[in-house]
Each structure stands twice: as C-alpha cells, then as structure tokens.
Structure 1
Amino acid sequence: MSAQAHELHEVDGVGAADTTQPRSRLELIDWNEPEVPEGLTDAEYDEVLHRLSVASVERHFDAFADIDWDHPDFEVRADDPRWVLPDVDPVGRHPWYKALPLEEQIRVGQWRYANIFKVGLQFENILIRGIMQYVFTAENGSKEYRYLTHEATEECHHTQMFQEGVNRMGVDAPGMPRWLRAVAWALPLAASKVPLAFFIGVLAGEEPIDHTQKALLREGVEVHPMIKRIMQIHVAEEARHISFAHEYVKRNAPRVGPVDRFLVSLAFPVIMRVLGDAILVPVKEFQQEFAIPDEVIDELFWESAESKEFLSELFSDVRMLAEESGLMTRLSRRVWRALGIDGRPSRYRSEPAVKFA
C-alpha cells in the first residue's frame, strides 16, 4: 500500500491516538509516533511489536512512488536561494558562512545537505545488515522478526531516497569519515555478538539526524522542496524505528550481567559522541573544497558556547534513555560530562529544547 494514499502529518504529531474506552494502556499509544510505557510484560512487548508492524504496513513510503523527483519544484539550480543553510544548522549560523557570496552559500548548502544524506544512507546500510544479522537466529514465532524486517524494508527505501537526493544535487559527497567507512563492514556483526550495544549504536546514527531534521521542520524555515519532502518522509518513519530501539535498550539493559551492563554504560556515551560527530562534523573533503579555516571548524564543532549547547541538546533523548534503562551510573555520568554531551535529560521523546531567559 503506497503512502500516496496517506496525508503526511506535521512532524510534531504524526497521526492521532484513539483514546475512546481504552482496553489497556497500549490503547493510548499513537502507533505512528509511539511513546511506549515503562515495565511492559512479555505479552505487552509482543503486542507493541505487532502494532508497530501493522503501522508499518498501513503507513509507509516508497522512494520513487511518493516523491515526484521530476516535478519542476524539485529542480536543482545553482542560483536557488532556498539552498542557503538556515540558522538551525551549525554551519548556517556561523559568521564565516554568512559572509560568503550568495552563490557560494548555495554551493556550501548543497554540499552540506548532500553529505548529511550520504552519511544517513551509509548508517542505514549498516543498520539493515545488522538487522539481518540479528534476525538470522530469531526463533520461530518471534514478533521481533516481523517488526525488524519491516524496519529493514523501510530503511532500504530511505537509502534509495537519500541516494537519489545526492544524485540530484550533483555533489560527490563521501559521507562518513574515511576511518569509519573502513570499519563499516564489521559493525553489523555487533548485532549478534553484542545486540544491546548495537541498538545503542542504531540510536547514535538515528537520533542526531532525526533531531536536526525535526528542528528544521519545526522552525518553518524555507528550504528546497526536495529536501523538505525527504526530511518529512524520513522523520515520519523514523519515529517507529527510534521507539523500537529505545524499548529494546530499556528492556534488555537490566537483563544482561552486571559486568556487561557496567561496560555498556561506559560505552553508551562514547558511541553517541563518536557516531554523532561522524554525522555532523564536516569531513576533510568539505573543508578543503571550501577552504574553511581550521579555527572556524573548531569553533563550529564544538568549542563555542553555542555549539556546545547544541551538542548537549542533541543527546537529551538518549540521556533520558540511559536514566530509564539504568545505564546512567555515577561513573558513566562522568564520561558523558567529559565528552561534552551531559545535561538535562528529556522529559519525553523529541521534547523541544528548553530555553531559559
């Protein structure tokens, strides 16, 4: 069933929960933007997976059926000011960028979008392979098997969507840093060997992109229609994927042994910071292409007070997850702080940043 039959809702609330005479607490969940309650029984967990699977069938998108790539509004032009990066992007709000001529701002914007999309599709490629590794040993009747293969299918469409966007922009974006591309072949193996760490890594790849895309869509800034459409589709489907990964970590962290739980609690912030940087910090090719001074890169990522605040906000949802899953210990909290990604946890998923006067 193509998503052409469905209207794309606003990013703040995809769909609406049916709260009439709820038979259980699961009835209150919006399955397109699910917030899963604490302490699920095994039966409730299976029901959550079933309903997420049904939501994947009823509401999904195809990269080529649901995006009119050849629509005149999607034309990529070198003189289109809608490619100028908005202030919600760290590069877009920096004085160095704002001082560039318009045509150069446009070129930087296209490069920036293209590389973030390329990183996104590379992460999702790793995720797809990891999911296949994980479900290979799933027991017959496993509800995780069905949901995760739905997720892998959706991620395949995302990789097609991102790659087509990169192709249309005409930018030879490398995506991930070279070192991460070199080890990417091995990362899916973690899904069967250390699945808890793998799904934390899934969130490290999904949360920064989801956070920045939601911030851009919520600001209502004018961006190129192709970029906006890609982001809308990605945000709509990632809500389910992120919800599952959160629930997997919350459910399984207390079930591993104390030594493994201790090690994962320390690895959690490291995984977040390393993979977050891989997504957001421009690769050397970007810096060289536009002759960006080293001091500008350093200020952007992450030496200025504004960039430090942005970095902290980026991980507020996963700090909440670490607290809820028992992975935020006295020692691991120090690691979060040392990496510059500590701060107030979210009260609920996708909570907008709180600004104090």
Structure 2
Amino acid sequence: MTATVPEPGLNQAEDRHDTAERLLRSSEELSFDPATQVDWETPLDRSYHGMSPEWSSLYGTAYWDELTEDERRELTRQESASVASTGIWFEMILQQLVLRDFYAKDPTDPAFQWALTEIADECRHSIMFARGSEKLGAPAYIPKRSVVTLGRLCAMTYSGEAAYASILVAEEVLDVMQRDWMRDERVVPFVRTINNIHVVEESRHMKFAREETRERLKGAGRLRRQYQALTVAAAAYFIVTSMWNEQIYANAGLDTQRALREARANEHHKSQLRCSCAGLMEFLSSCGLLTRPALWFYRRANLI
C-alpha cells in the first residue's frame, strides 16, 4: 500500500481558503447598513455620555471630581468623537495596506474576495464614525501632522506580518472599549448602535488579521521577527496615543493644561488601556513579536 504524502503547505492553503469562505458567509449573514440602522434623525440628547465615563481620560482624577455632570457628559462626547476620528485615520491606512497586499492576485481566491469585503466594511465604518462625531457636536480630530506623515509612510511600506499585526493592534484596542460602551445605558443610544455594528463586523476582521499574521510569520527568522516586532510596536504607540486628542479639553470647556497634566498621570486610565490589550499582548507574544525593544513602545503607550 502506498502512502499519500501531502504537498508542503497544502494544509495551510486549505485552512486559509476555508477561513476566508467562513468569513464571507458570516458577512453575508450578519452585516449592517449604518445609513439605515443608526438613528441619525433624533436630535442629540445631552443627558447621555458619549462613552462609558470609566473610559474618560480624566475619570478618577481630582479634576473629574470637580466637574459637573453636564461637563463630564460633554467631555465624554468629545472623547468619543476623538477616538472615532483616530479610527477613521487608521482605517484609511488599513485599506491601503490590504489593497497593496492583494494587488494583482487571483480574484477567484476567497481570501481576495474577503479582503475586498473588509475594505467595503471599513469604508462604511469610516462614514459611520464621521457622521457620529458630527452628531456628537465635535470637530474633526486629526492626529498631529508628524503622526499623519508617519501614517503615510506606514501605508506605503508596511507589508506581511507588520501590516496585519498593526491592523490587529488598532482593532483589538477599539474592540474592548467599544464592548463596554455598547452595553452601557448611560451612553447615548446612537453611539451604542455604532459600537455594536463595529464590534460585530470587526470581529471578522480581527480573525483574518490573526490568521494572516501567523501565516506570514511561518519560517521567519529571529532577525526578521525582531525588526517586525519593533515596527508593529511603533504603530501601536502612535495609534493609541492619538486616540485622545489634546483639543478635546478646550472643546469641552475645560482648562487644557490642567486636564493634560491630570490625564497623563491618571493611573485608572492607564489601567483601562492595559486591560484592553491583555489578549493582544498574549497573541503577539505567541508570535514572537513581543520583544524587549518592542516592550519600550508598549509601556510608553500604557499598553503593558
């Protein structure tokens, strides 16, 4: 009897094919249209927060204790819009990374079709976040010019595991905080709907990003892992530190300098960020992407 020896890489290719097909089926069965499923018509009810108060950068500080309830709610609305604006900025980078990765590849491959589905999702999410921020009464919170420039560089140069692990970083951090906000009845209902849509659809994106990160790292040597770990950590630092724009305090009517001082020293907020990244750090460690140099960036961003 002759044994059949599987071709090298065949099982991995089949697994990737099956994962992409499952994600496509899931997208067909459970996707949303924010244009019709978010309540854009009802005027903003200012008796609600824009995010769970516990996620505010000032929650737990002396300044927070001095604020009126109206001031706290306004601050969380500005903070929610700032996080959403950072999400839009990174989603535009994400789309470029995925398009470059699948450029001129087999369009009959389910992975190719899933990549286009993910890009379509991200386009809808960005419009949804933009409309949500406008309804919250917030301006466009664009990251600092230097960070925008670095984002352009990332979009042009990141590839393989660096691209997909960076995508995962942004999505994981948002996922944890938005799961809290979407269940919190203190948060304005239309924001809860936005968060629910994003959580459901991004869960598929995170699954794909994890699988692609693992796949691209197969056979990678120590030097490559060290370098890519550093690029991913740098991306994580700039994404997370851009989420709370410095202008939110002035727009909420607060003393910007005092707010910045207390926010930077706020151990409660740092703890919230670390908790949001526990699963992410475990995944990066399992992939050999949590190196000593990379840890410096994660600690600076209060992610570990």
Whether TM-score is above 0.5 comes out as yes
Distance 2:174 2:52 in 1: 15
What is the aligned counterpart of 2:32 among 32, 36, 61?
61
Deviation at 1:338, TM superposition (A): 5.0
Distance 1:43 1:315 in 2: 31
What is the aligned counterpart of 1:101 among 64, 68, 72?
68
Closer/same/farther in 2, CA of residues 64 and 334 from structure 1, 3 Å limit: closer
Distance 1:164 1:226 in 2: 11
Closer/same/farther in 2, CA of residues 171 and 135 from structure 1, 3 Å limit: same
What is the aligned counterpart of 2:288 among 326, 332, 335?
326
Secondary structure at the aligned position of 1:313 is classed as helix
What is the aligned counterpart of 1:216 among 181, 190, 197?
181
Match of 1:300 in 2: 263
Superposition TM-score, scaled by structure 2 size = 0.85
1:80 matched to 2:47: yes
What is the aligned counterpart of 1:313 among 251, 275, 279?
275
Contact 2:59–2:268 (Cα < 8 Å) also in 1 = no
For residue 309 of structure 1, what is the amino acid of its counterpart? S
Q: Aligned Cα RMSD in Å?
A: 2.6
For residue 215 of structure 1, what is the amino acid of its counterpart? D
Aligned residues: 293
- Whichever structure has more helix as a proportion of its residues is 2
Match of 1:91 in 2: 58
1:234 matched to 2:202: no
Match of 2:217 in 1: 253
Match of 2:296 in 1: 335
Measured against aligned partners, the alpha-carbon deviations of 1:19-75 in whole angstroms (never above 9, x if no partner) come to xxxxxxxxxxxxxxxxxxxxx7321121011111111122111121222322x4xx2
1:166 matched to 2:129: no
Closer/same/farther in 2, CA of residues 89 and 151 from structure 1, 3 Å limit: same
Match of 2:160 in 1: 195
Closer/same/farther in 2, CA of residues 262 and 314 from structure 1, 3 Å limit: same
Distance 1:210 1:285 in 2: 24
Deviation at 1:332, TM superposition (A): 4.5
Secondary structure at the aligned position of 2:73 is classed as helix
Closer/same/farther in 2, CA of residues 65 and 277 from structure 1, 3 Å limit: same
Superposition TM-score, scaled by structure 1 size = 0.73
Secondary structure at the aligned position of 2:55 is classed as coil
Secondary structure at the aligned position of 1:256 is classed as coil
For residue 212 of structure 1, what is the amino acid of its counterpart? M
Distance 1:339 1:42 in 2: 38
Deviation at 1:315, TM superposition (A): 1.8
Distance 2:296 2:168 in 1: 18
Closer/same/farther in 2, CA of residues 342 and 188 from structure 1, 3 Å limit: closer
Match of 1:153 in 2: 120
Deviation at 1:203, TM superposition (A): 1.9
Distance 1:237 1:276 in 2: 21
Closer/same/farther in 2, CA of residues 222 and 286 from structure 1, 3 Å limit: closer
Contact 1:85–1:92 (Cα < 8 Å) also in 2 = no
Report percent identity of matched pairs. Answer: 19
Unaligned runs of 5+ in 2: 1-10
Distance 1:138 1:247 in 2: 18
Distance 1:145 1:170 in 2: 38
Contact 1:214–1:235 (Cα < 8 Å) also in 2 = yes
Contact 1:126–1:188 (Cα < 8 Å) also in 2 = yes
Contact 2:273–2:302 (Cα < 8 Å) also in 1 = yes
Distance 1:285 1:90 in 2: 13
Contact 2:60–2:266 (Cα < 8 Å) also in 1 = no
Relative contact order higher in (CA < 8 Å, ≥ 6 apart)? 2
Contact 2:51–2:80 (Cα < 8 Å) also in 1 = no
Deviation at 1:264, TM superposition (A): 1.1
Distance 1:337 1:286 in 2: 24
Q: Tell me which moved more, 158-167 or 305-314.
A: 305-314
Match of 1:286 in 2: 248
